[in-house]
Structures are given as C-alpha cells and as structure tokens.
C-alpha cells in the first residue's frame, strides 16, 4: 500500500493530483484490455499456452510475441495494482 500525503489548501491542486493518478489508472486498464485481447487471440489459435508446449510447434517470432505479451500483462497488472492501492491523505 502507498499512502500519498498532500499538503495544500488548494482544492483544485488536490483534485488535479487525484485526476492525474485516475487518468493513469484508466490508461493502464485500456492497455491491459488490449494485451489480454492479444493473448486471447493466441489462445484461440493455439489452445492453452505455455512455452514448453509451444516451443518448436509455432513460428519463433510468434512465440517471442506471445512471451512479450505475457510479460507486458504482468508488468501492467503490477503497476495498476500499485496505483489502485494508493490511499490519499489531505492535510
């Protein structure tokens, strides 16, 4: 969990800080949806995916692309979780 302490008398500033984080959360969710869709396309094409079962059975570039998408998925999920857990404290 992250606690973000904002010390300001300006309501506009507080709202802008919150909006910036909310906007980043929104963008990460959109990116997450796109990555999940790409992974779903691979699953439709090749079935349940894991590196060992795919190695040597599909084009190397497709395997690299799938691995990249799964890594991207994990990275986005971690960043999204981090932002969603922020607790705002105003002083």
- Is residue 79 classed as helix, strand or coil in its secondary structure? helix
pTM of the entire structure? Answer: 0.83
In the predicted model, is pLDDT for residue 14 greater than 80? yes
Say what the pLDDT of residue 62 is. Answer: 84
pLDDT band for position 30 (cuts 50, 70, 90): very high
In the predicted model, is pLDDT for residue 74 greater than 80? yes
Structure token pair of residue 68: 């990249």
Tallying the residues shown for the chain, one arrives at 91
Cβ atoms of 86 and 5 within 8 Å: the answer is: no
User: In which residue are the tokens 């094409």 written?
Assistant: 45
Strand residues in 1-83 grouped as ranges (E):
2-6
């Amino acid at each position: 969990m992250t606690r973000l302490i904002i010390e300001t008398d300006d309501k506009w500033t507080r709202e802008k800080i919150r909006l910036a984080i909310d906007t980043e959360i929104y963008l990460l969710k959109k990116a997450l949806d796109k990555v999940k869709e790409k992974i779903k396309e691979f699953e439709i094409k090749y079935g349940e995916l894991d590196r060992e079962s795919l190695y040597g059975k599909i084009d190397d570039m497709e395997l690299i692309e799938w691995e990249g998408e799964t890594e991207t998925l994990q990275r986005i999920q971690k960043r999204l979780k981090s932002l969603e857990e922020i607790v705002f404290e105003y002083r």
